[in-house]
Structure 1
Amino acid sequence: MAITVSLVALFGLVLFFLLRSHSLSYGSAFTAAGFGFFLASTGAARPINQLVESLVETVSSL
């Protein structure tokens, strides 16, 4: 059985726990989310997606 998790959900969960443990301030979280949002609309989005896909495939084949 394969379980798939969206990377957005995974990073959102990590961000939630960082905010909850006070390891990250709200301003930093907002900046990180904004950076990710604007990065997704640049030309860097496709190579980043390809890198993440290859990493996921490598980890799943282990």
Structure 2
Amino acid sequence: MAVSISAVVLLGIIVFVLIRGGYVRLSNALACALFGFFLASTGAAPTIRDAIGAVTSWISSI
């Protein structure tokens, strides 16, 4: 759970910086966020969660 909260905070900061810098418009960021919420309710969510968990555990072991 701590990894997912950290990922949410990190990605939120990145999106904020991109919107603030003018690289991404607010409507595009909202579309991506909605896509993420809908993707989380599909059958692909456990696979994505496992892949992210594997990458973060690999990074922490370095």
User: In the alignment, residue 9 of structure 2 is paired with which amino acid?
Assistant: A
Indicate the percent of aligned positions where both proteins have the same amino acid.
39
Residue 45 of structure 2 corresponds to: 45
User: TM-score, structure 1 length as denominator?
Assistant: 0.88
C-alpha deviation, 1:45, in angstroms: 0.5
Unaligned runs of 5+ in 2: none
C-alpha deviation, 1:34, in angstroms: 0.4
Determine which structure has greater relative contact order: mean sequence separation of CA pairs < 8 Å that are 6+ residues apart, divided by chain length. Answer: 2
User: What stretches of structure 1 move > 6 A for 4+ residues in a row?
Assistant: none
User: TM-score, structure 2 length as denominator?
Assistant: 0.88
1:30-41 aligned at under 5 Å gives the runs: 30-41=30-41
User: In the alignment, residue 9 of structure 1 is paired with which amino acid?
Assistant: V
Aligned pairs, number: 60
Task: Provide Cα deviations, 1:1-54, integer angstroms capped at 9, x if missing partner.
Answer: xxx662111111110000000000011011010001111111111000000000
CA RMSD of aligned residues (A): 1.6
Looking at secondary structure, tell me which structure has more helix per residue.
Answer: 2
1:1-62 aligned at under 5 Å gives the runs: 6-62=6-62
